[in-house]
């Protein structure tokens, strides 16, 4: 069972916590992580790309010239795909790229990434994150005290307007809730900051 230090927002160690093996100590499954990530990205696609076929392009109702006797190739419409301004053959039409992935696979992918964060020492646990006011500088100071740099994902157990709004203007920092975390964000943001309550909720949900 992995054990990790717990800090306060001043950056001082206050205790340690034993993380549950089933969530933070499994052997990461890279194949499942990859397939769930591809599914997430596919589901984000809008699928609104569209082109007009020769039937939808205006004009071209009349045969441009007679079939025989002109010396030119026969043509039926100036809106055929090979004409400039003609329709598009086999072009995109609005469609949905969404498909489902097994719920067990999604949960395994999340547990795999959480476990890899522990192995790579990219997980920081804080007893709690509380700010008296909405102020970016206070959040910058807190992250500096915790000695986390680069891309940071802060996971909270529930909505906290002061924390969320204080972090939103910091480049490379994002806040998320336990019930909205996804594989894409966990992979995109190298360092993961969890509160103790967030750890407990994750263990309840993903065990």
For the chain, what percent of residues have pLDDT higher than 90? 93
CATH number of the domain located at residue range(s) 3-45+100-206 in this protein: 3.40.1370.10
Helices (H), the chain: 21-24, 30-44, 103-119, 136-146, 161-167, 183-188, 196-206
Write down the pLDDT at residue 1.
74
In the prediction, which pLDDT does 60 show?
Answer: 87
Q: What span, in angstroms and rounded, lies between the C-alpha atoms of 182 and 176?
A: 9
- Stretch 21-49: mean pLDDT: 95
pLDDT given for residue 148 in this prediction:
92
Convert the pLDDT of each residue in 37-78 to its tens digit: 999 999 999 999 999 999 999 998 899 999 999 999 999 999
Token pair of 84, please? Answer: 């400039």
b/e code 85-110 from CB counts within 10 Å (16+ = b) = ebbeeeeeeeeeeeeebeeebbbbbb
Q: What pLDDT shows up at residue 68? A: 95
Q: Are strands 13-18 and 123-126 parallel, antiparallel or unpaired?
A: unpaired
* Token representation of residue 110: 């999340």
**Predicted local confidence at residue 204, as pLDDT:** 92
For the chain, domain boundaries: 3-45+100-206, 46-96
What pLDDT, in 10s, does the model give residues 89-139?
999 999 999 999 999 999 999 999 999 999 999 999 999 998 999 999 999
According to DSSP, residue 130 is labeled: -
Residues 153 and 155: their CA atoms lie apart, in Å, by 6
């Amino acid at each position: 069972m992995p054990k990790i230090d717990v800090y306060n927002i001043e950056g001082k160690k206050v205790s340690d916590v034993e993380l549950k093996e089933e969530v933070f100590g499994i052997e990461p499954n890279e194949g499942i992580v990859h397939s769930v990530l591809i599914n997430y990205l596919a589901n984000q696609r809008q699928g609104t790309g569209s082109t007009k076929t020769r039937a939808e392009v205006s004009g071209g109702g009349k045969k441009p010239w007679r079939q025989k006797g002109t010396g030119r190739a026969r043509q039926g419409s100036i809106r055929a795909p090979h004409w400039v301004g003609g329709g598009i053959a086999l072009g995109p039409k609005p469609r949905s790229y969404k498909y489902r992935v097994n719920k067990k696979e999604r949960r395994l992918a999340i547990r795999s990434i959480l476990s890899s964060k522990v192995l790579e020492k990219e997980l920081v646990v804080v007893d709690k994150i509380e700010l008296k006011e909405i102020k970016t500088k206070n959040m910058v100071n807190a992250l500096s005290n915790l000695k986390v740099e680069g891309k940071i994902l802060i996971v909270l157990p529930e909505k906290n307007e002061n924390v969320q709004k204080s972090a939103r203007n910091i480049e490379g920092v994002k806040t998320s809730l336990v019930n909205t975390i996804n594989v894409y964000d966990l992979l995109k943001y190298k360092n993961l900051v969890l509160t103790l309550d967030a750890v407990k909720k994750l263990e309840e949900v993903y065990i």
